Amino acid sequence: MLKPSLKIAFCLALFSAAVQADPLISVTGNVVASPCTVDTNTVNKTVDLGSLQRLDLQNAGEGGDWHDFELLLTNCPLGTVTVKAQLSGTPAPGDATAWQNSGSSGNMALRITSRDHLTIIAPGSSLTSNVNTSNRTASFLLSAKMFTPQGNAVAGTFQSVMNVDFTWQ
């Protein structure tokens, strides 16, 4: 009588193994916010800071006038409520809160602030703007100027690059 029960147990083990061999199917995905449109005047934006006299840049901190500019996103879809701007670039030597000048003038840097000049925007900063629900835009109001962090500026060209990556939620 032991043999028939052994055969039954063996058959059940084979059936069980066949059931476990079925393929496993995984389904994944993401739900993302639709993008806003980066305004054409924001893409590859150039802010002209004009010219300064070297004689006016002899002492640390001296600089030019503020020049206002805006980073604008338009056509933000319904459901998108905030836009984040992540700024990157090379910090100025001796002043990590300023942006490096890659032009030929020496001892010069770029200062970026909020439009009211109360908040310094340094390389690595991130900013957040709420989407305006009436016109579906998000804007970042900023100001820029050339200045000399150490003093004793050297005449030449001035150029600085700020990269901006936008994300929205």
Q: What's the CATH code of the domain at 62?
A: 2.60.40.1090
∠65-74-43 over CA atoms, to 5°? 55
Strand order across the 109-114 sheet: 37-38, 67-74, 138-147, 109-114, 95-100, 91-92
Tell the burial category of 135 from Cβ atoms under 10 Å away from its Cβ (0-12, 13-18, 19+). Answer: exposed
Inside any domain, residue 120: yes
Asked if residue 127 is part of any domain, the answer here is: yes
Residue 100 lies in a domain: yes
pLDDT > 90: percent of the chain: 76
According to the model, what pLDDT value does residue 157 have?
97
Residue 9 in domain: no
Residue 141 in any domain: the answer is yes
In a domain, 69, yes or no: yes
Domain count, the chain: 1
The answer to whether residue 23 sits within a structural domain is no
- What is the span of the domain harbouring residue 128? 37-168
pLDDT surpasses 60 at 31: yes
Residue 164 lies in a domain: yes
Please, are residues 71 and 154 in contact by the beta-carbon 8 Å criterion? no
Give residue-wise pLDDT tens across range 60-112.
999 999 999 999 999 999 989 999 999 999 999 989 999 999 999 999 999 99
Does pLDDT of 35 surpass 90? no
